[in-house]
Chain A
Amino acid sequence: MTTDHIVKSFDDELNKLSDLVSRMGGLAEEQIECAIEALQKRDAVGATEAIENDRKIDALQLEVEELAIQMIVRRQPLAADLRHTVAALKIAPLIERIGDYAKNIGRRTLALNQSPPIKPLFTIPRMGRMARTMVQDVLDAFSNNDVEKARAVWVRDAELDDMYDSLFRELLTYMMEDPRSITACTHLLFVARNIERIGDIATNIAEVVHYQVEGQTLSEDRPKADEASVTVVEPH
């Protein structure tokens, strides 16, 4: 979008739309980071903050939707403008769901704090950092119409799935070793699942970015490595 519109306020609205989506993304990234850090540090204040922050994202989502609908009414956007508006309208609820997952991690942290720590957590923070970076990258891709960057995120999700699978097996083993850890491990399993879902959503956003830039959806199959749903660990 190099040339400006004849109607300048149309440009202002398109910019505002991008800006709102970026702000939603920024908040979601912070929320993920905050939730993971609270989990690591068993920090109830941080976890509560991650839960509370979700409201801001919800409010921004409403703003995005209202603006996009107003733009459709007023401007009847076409071509790249249409795709940009539709992309914002599709991405906003995806970010909102990322917020929901981060909020859920905060909640489970509060629950985990009620029981003794099981083992030092390495994989979950790594997964968290990776998911956060994926969200950041895919939203950069959205802002800059960078289809290659979006594609890279789309492909990278397989790694996150791998981590989730190995963590799944690890936690099952803990639970078998010590049934008293079942409550905590189950919460951790859900935390990991939430992070894994955030990665999936980042790939959904990548697909929207691809549509925004190229005018067509990504048609090939995404490399998928999530095997946890079919994994069985037998007791020794």
Chain B
Amino acid sequence: MTDPAMSEEQNVIPAQDPGGSPAPAPRKIATKVNATDVDVFYGDKQALEKVSIEIPQNQVTAFIGPSGCGKSTFLRCINRMNDTIDICRVEGTIAIDGRDIYDRDIDVVQLRAQVGMVFQKPNPFPKSIYDNIAYGPRIHGMVAGKADTDDLVESSLRRASLWEEVKDRLEQPGTGLSGGQQQRLCIARAIAVSPEVILMDEPCSALDPIATARIEELIDELRQNFTIVIVTHSMQQAARVSQKTAFFHLGVLVEQGATEKIFTNPEDKRTQDYITGRFG
């Protein structure tokens, strides 16, 4: 599946509704996102078939699978990004904190505040580093005055491990940073509006190993505060950063489980064949 063109504002998400979340289910690891029997159609073509998965809170869940298997399509269901594609139809239920996000009375703009997204190619706004971060919080009235905004910009950049590298050039354009820095800027921009879930669609595929290591380190830190779902083509990356892994193939969620188990002793032959490089 090719990625449909994304507009930049999808990366900036407005403030969440703090009162809306019911208490998580009484389990050891709470489920943040619960998808049940999700079907996705592009026109007549079915892209996903009966996908059911629980995405645990404050953990990293990795989606793996060959190109066109539906993993990115499913990822985009979680913040209703597929709504932007006219011929796309989603069936089944996806609930965040128990609330169905495809419900009629759900405000999609609010939803995308709650569920942030980071893309394969870093896409900072053609604005200063400072404004890249400040833009979202400003338009959603999360900050009052310069001091307030300064604080939020600094804390977001710090949480994205970028502050030390850019603190002396906040007025310079975000597009002037290196690829890895741009990606961390996009992560900082996403977390500036305090989302609960962060979706990452191959966030390191355009980065060198050092920039990749920084993002992976960052992902590990971010999961203290956020629930993270990452699509990756790198098995090693999935093994390194995630606690849960789901393998998609031909629109079906073939196998899901503890990352450790999936990569050492998967149950399904298709999973085994894919991760060991045996797909013809």
Q: List the interface of chain A (C-beta within 8 A of B).
A: 3-7, 10, 76-83, 214-216
Q: Which of B275, B279, B280 contacts A79 (CB 8 A)?
A: B275
Is A6 touching B280 in the complex (CB atoms < 8 A)?
A: yes
Is A78 touching B273 in the complex (CB atoms < 8 A)?
A: no
- B2 located at the interface, meaning its Cβ lies under 8 Å from any Cβ of chain A in the complex: no
- Chain B: interface size category: 10 to 19
**Docked complex: B231-280 residues within 8 A CB-CB of A:** 235-236, 239, 263-266, 271-273, 275-280
Is A81 touching B276 in the complex (CB atoms < 8 A)?
A: yes
Q: Given known contacts A215-B264, A215-B265, A216-B265, is B277 in contact with A79 (CB within 8 Å)?
A: no
Is A76 touching B235 in the complex (CB atoms < 8 A)?
A: yes
User: In the docked arrangement, what's the CA distance between A4 and B277, Å?
Assistant: 9
- Residues in A with CB closer than 8 Å to B279 are 6
Is B264 touching A5 in the complex (CB atoms < 8 A)?
A: no
- Of all chain B residues, the one with the shortest Cβ separation from A76 is B236
- Of all chain A residues, the one with the shortest Cβ separation from B279 is A6
User: In the docked arrangement, what's the CA distance between A82 and B273, Å?
Assistant: 13
User: In the docked arrangement, what's the CA distance between A83 and B263, Å?
Assistant: 10
- Residues in A with CB closer than 8 Å to B236 are 76
User: In the docked arrangement, what's the CA distance between A5 and B263, Å?
Assistant: 16
- Residues in A with CB closer than 8 Å to B275 are 78-79
Question: Can you list 9 A-B contacts (CB < 8 A)?
Answer: A3-B273, A5-B278, A6-B277, A6-B279, A7-B277, A79-B276, A83-B265, A215-B264, A216-B265
Is A78 touching B235 in the complex (CB atoms < 8 A)?
A: yes
Q: Which of B235, B239, B271, B278 contacts A4 (CB 8 A)?
A: B278
- Residues in B with CB closer than 8 Å to A3 are 273, 278, 280
Produce 1/0 per residue, B203-246, CB < 8 A to A.
00000000000000000000000000000000110010000000
Q: Which of A5, A77, A79, A83 counts the most chain B CB atoms within 10 A? A: A79
Is A10 touching B277 in the complex (CB atoms < 8 A)?
A: yes
Q: Given known contacts A76-B236, A78-B235, is B276 in contact with A83 (CB within 8 Å)?
A: no
- Residues in B with CB closer than 8 Å to A10 are 277
- Residues in B with CB closer than 8 Å to A5 are 276-278
**Docked complex: B158-175 residues within 8 A CB-CB of A:** none
- Additional pairs, 19, CB under 8 Å, beyond known A6-B280, A10-B277, A78-B276: A5-B276, A5-B277, A76-B235, A76-B236, A77-B276, A78-B263, A78-B275, A79-B263, A79-B265, A79-B266, A79-B272, A79-B275, A80-B272, A80-B276, A81-B276, A82-B263, A82-B264, A83-B264, A214-B265
User: In the docked arrangement, what's the CA distance between A83 and B280, Å?
Assistant: 22
- Residues in A with CB closer than 8 Å to B273 are 3
User: In the docked arrangement, what's the CA distance between A82 and B278, Å?
Assistant: 14
- Residues in B with CB closer than 8 Å to A216 are 265
- Of all chain A residues, the one with the shortest Cβ separation from B267 is A215
- Of all chain A residues, the one with the shortest Cβ separation from B239 is A78
User: In the docked arrangement, what's the CA distance between A4 and B279, Å?
Assistant: 9
- Residues in A with CB closer than 8 Å to B272 are 79-80
- Residues in B with CB closer than 8 Å to A80 are 272, 276
- Residues in B with CB closer than 8 Å to A7 are 277
Q: Which of B272, B273, B276, B280 counts the most chain A CB atoms within 10 A? A: B276
- Of all chain B residues, the one with the shortest Cβ separation from A4 is B278
**Docked complex: B6-29 residues within 8 A CB-CB of A:** none
- Of all chain A residues, the one with the shortest Cβ separation from B263 is A78
User: In the docked arrangement, what's the CA distance between A6 and B278, Å?
Assistant: 5
**Nearest chain A CB to B104's CB is how many angstroms away?**
44
User: In the docked arrangement, what's the CA distance between A23 and B108, Å?
Assistant: 65
**Nearest chain B CB to A219's CB is how many angstroms away?**
15
**Nearest chain B CB to A76's CB is how many angstroms away?**
6
User: In the docked arrangement, what's the CA distance between A4 and B271, Å?
Assistant: 15
- Of all chain B residues, the one with the shortest Cβ separation from A14 is B276
- Residues in B with CB closer than 8 Å to A82 are 263-264
- Of all chain B residues, the one with the shortest Cβ separation from A215 is B265
User: In the docked arrangement, what's the CA distance between A134 and B266, Å?
Assistant: 30
- 9 smallest beta-carbon distances between A and B, as pairs: A215-B265, A3-B278, A78-B275, A81-B276, A79-B272, A78-B263, A5-B277, A6-B277, A79-B276
